[in-house]
Structure 1
Amino acid sequence: MPLSLSSLSFADNAKKHVAITAIVEHPALDQARQGIIDELKDAGFIEGENLTLQFQSAQGNSATAAQIAKKYAGDNPDVAIGIGTPSAQALLASTRTVPIVYTAVTDPVAANLVRSWEATGGNVTGVSDHLPLEPQMDLVKMIIPDVKSIGFVYSPGEVNSTIVLKQLQEILEPQGIKVVAAPAQRTTDISTAVKSLQGRVDVIYTSTDNNVVSAYESMYQAAVQTKIPLIASDTSSSERGAVAALGGDYYGMGRQTGKLVVRILNGEKAGDIASEKPQKTELYVNLKAAQQQGVTLPEEVIKSATKVIE
């Protein structure tokens, strides 16, 4: 049975070959991919001239991610890029020789992509989307000052999210704030997971869980129905219904990732390059979503926002 893939390919006769795969397509990951492509272009790697560029999405399916990774290993590109933890893990499982650059991975060490944040040899480097949780929780407490319980909708099969859940519990429970986990194995489970938190939590915090982010509209609709405000760590989620989001600039993260790819294309070894973290964060607020979800955003939060969505 042929793979059902979203695919782009360019210029078979190019001198360099970069193969990109993403676990799913959603705004944050799409912005990261565009940042990579733009950085390559600015560095002189032009599609159709001296670069063959390939892209395939696994459409949220880990088995498909593994198939794409095996195909890429056989193609032997100069660099393979994994956007999202499952795609990066699939690439590493398929090849120990092709240079791999990951992006939008929360904890590359816990995901067994690299042994540490330092350069550790091997064939992997990349840019994490890890953000400290403390500023995120400070934002939650600014918006919901008397918060006693925080809901966390997540995909139990995604290591990024299980790590965040554990960290939330470690940070919040000593403060007397309960973390209520609501697993959602599939995107179709997101709305049910949100509704299961009605009457149990004061707010829902969402991480960069790919399953959740790809179905954020469903989450937003359920949040409006239940009047549970959503606060996110991905700024694109604010544009899709979170009342506020403090997160990394995924396009900028893509540019940062692209710089590592360029270094490898110019002769450096992936294993000689240390993993990196995001260089900046931005705060987005959505006034309409706040009103719909029954919360008033403090003026100080609105004034400090990078972007205010009316």
Structure 2
Amino acid sequence: MFRQKLAACAAAALLTMTGLPGLNHLNNLNAWAGEMTNVAITYIVDHPAIDAARKGVIDELAEAGYKEGETLTLHVQSAQGSMPTQLQIAKKFAGMRPDLLVAISTPSAQALQSAADGKIPIVFSAVTDPVGSKLVKSMEAPGGNITGTSDQQPFGPTLKLIKRLVPEAKKLGVIYNAGEANSVAQVEALKAALADYGLELEESTASQTAMVPDAALSLAGRADVILIPTDSTVVAAIESVVNVGRKAKVPVFASDTDSVKRGALAALGFDYYKLGRLTGKMAVRILKGESPAAIPVGVLDTQDLYLNKTSAAAMGVAVPDDLLETATKVIE
């Protein structure tokens, strides 16, 4: 430790001689003295729900004293919807040997888990089925080097909402990426729940965000309503689904509340910023020495109702006043 500090002082002296600003001296001195914490965050694609979760993580770290540029070196990179790119990012981040890896979305978590090979702690956010995705052994006792938060939620309340707003609906369309374990698990859960609500499922798949518009068009003549699961590939292009819904008068429901701000008619879902804050709390615990193996997977215990009045009118749906009054947020 003495030699490390001595080397740091020498480095700081060298920086002073070069005339670099004082803040750079401090940041480099901390880094060389081993006082900077290194965290790397990656996610499969950019969209508001993932952005909110990422912000929640970073804000929680800052509140706990891990402030970027002061005590924290933060590396953040999006895969831009490409799984090969995500695998490359995961390999690069694992090779950097940070103090903690953070993944937002199922494919990002799976990529980091494979690249880290059990040697670097990982915390994930917005993973719908952590057990089915083989990220953890169980929700209560994850095991290994990984834990995090899930956005898993029952479909029953959403299906009940759909039948209330569109009582004549018989066929429910769903668009998802069949290559995402998280999405496949959601569709299976949806199939199991549909019978109780008198609905049949019409599926349409999109392996890339660019394929979502065509997937939505294929449902226009087959489905009475469309439900978008928490699938990053599809959510990234939710506007294209909304456009189809408005033109064809097919109501579009979502599983994340940010999609309602972007045009979906309604959603019963989580606040992803709050989910990110919960993920950040777990990250802080790990950085302070706790093992991910012993930290249960976290979930939010409330669902928020978001409604979009403009989209409801465009899609031919009348929203009852009492539902508007109980909504967490109404988009005019």
What is the TM-score with the length of structure 2 in the denominator? 0.88
Residue 189 of structure 1 and its aligned partner are, at CA, apart by 1.8
Residue 99 of structure 1 and its aligned partner are, at CA, apart by 0.2
- Residue 6 of structure 1 corresponds to none
1:3-44: CA deviation from partner (whole Å, max 9, x where unpaired): xxxxxxxx6625211100000110000000000010011111
Contact 2:47 2:235 in 1 (8 A): yes
Of the structure 1 ranges 133-142 and 75-84, higher mean CA displacement relative to structure 2 is found in 133-142
Q: How do 1:1-310 and structure 2 match up within 5 A? A: 13=31, 15-95=36-116, 96-173=118-195, 175-310=197-332
The structure carrying a bigger helix percent of its residues is 2
Inter-partner Cα distance in structure 1 for 2:220 and 2:94: 46
Inter-partner Cα distance in structure 1 for 2:218 and 2:240: 14
The runs of 5 or more residues in structure 1 that have no matched partner are 1-10
Residue 229 of structure 1 and its aligned partner are, at CA, apart by 0.6
Inter-partner Cα distance in structure 2 for 1:94 and 1:17: 17
Percent identity of paired positions between Structure 1 and Structure 2: 48
The runs of 5 or more residues in structure 2 that have no matched partner are 1-26
1:115-161: CA deviation from partner (whole Å, max 9, x where unpaired): 11112421000000111111111111111122211100111111111
What is the TM-score with the length of structure 1 in the denominator? 0.94
In the comparison of the two structures, how many residue pairs are matched?
300
User: Which SS does the other structure have where 2:273 is aligned?
Assistant: helix
1:239-294: CA deviation from partner (whole Å, max 9, x where unpaired): 11111111101000000000000001111111111111123221110000111111
Inter-partner Cα distance in structure 2 for 1:24 and 1:50: 27
Residue 168 of structure 1 and its aligned partner are, at CA, apart by 1.0
1:63-100: CA deviation from partner (whole Å, max 9, x where unpaired): 11111111111111111001000000000001111000
One-letter amino acid matched to 2:242: Y
Residue 197 of structure 1 and its aligned partner are, at CA, apart by 1.6
Inter-partner Cα distance in structure 1 for 2:263 and 2:224: 17
One-letter amino acid matched to 1:79: L
Contact 2:142 2:297 in 1 (8 A): no
Inter-partner Cα distance in structure 1 for 2:65 and 2:173: 46
Residue 167 of structure 1 and its aligned partner are, at CA, apart by 1.0
User: Which SS does the other structure have where 1:97 is aligned?
Assistant: coil
Inter-partner Cα distance in structure 2 for 1:145 and 1:298: 13
Residue 56 of structure 1 and its aligned partner are, at CA, apart by 0.5
Of the structure 1 ranges 97-106 and 175-184, higher mean CA displacement relative to structure 2 is found in 175-184
Contact 1:16 1:50 in 2 (8 A): yes
Inter-partner Cα distance in structure 2 for 1:276 and 1:23: 21
Residue 198 of structure 1 and its aligned partner are, at CA, apart by 2.1
Contact 1:124 1:270 in 2 (8 A): yes
One-letter amino acid matched to 1:226: A
Structure 1 stretches (4+) deviating beyond 3 angstroms?
A: none
Inter-partner Cα distance in structure 1 for 2:47 and 2:256: 11
Inter-partner Cα distance in structure 2 for 1:121 and 1:171: 30
Contact 2:46 2:236 in 1 (8 A): yes
Inter-partner Cα distance in structure 1 for 2:196 and 2:311: 30
User: Which SS does the other structure have where 2:230 is aligned?
Assistant: coil
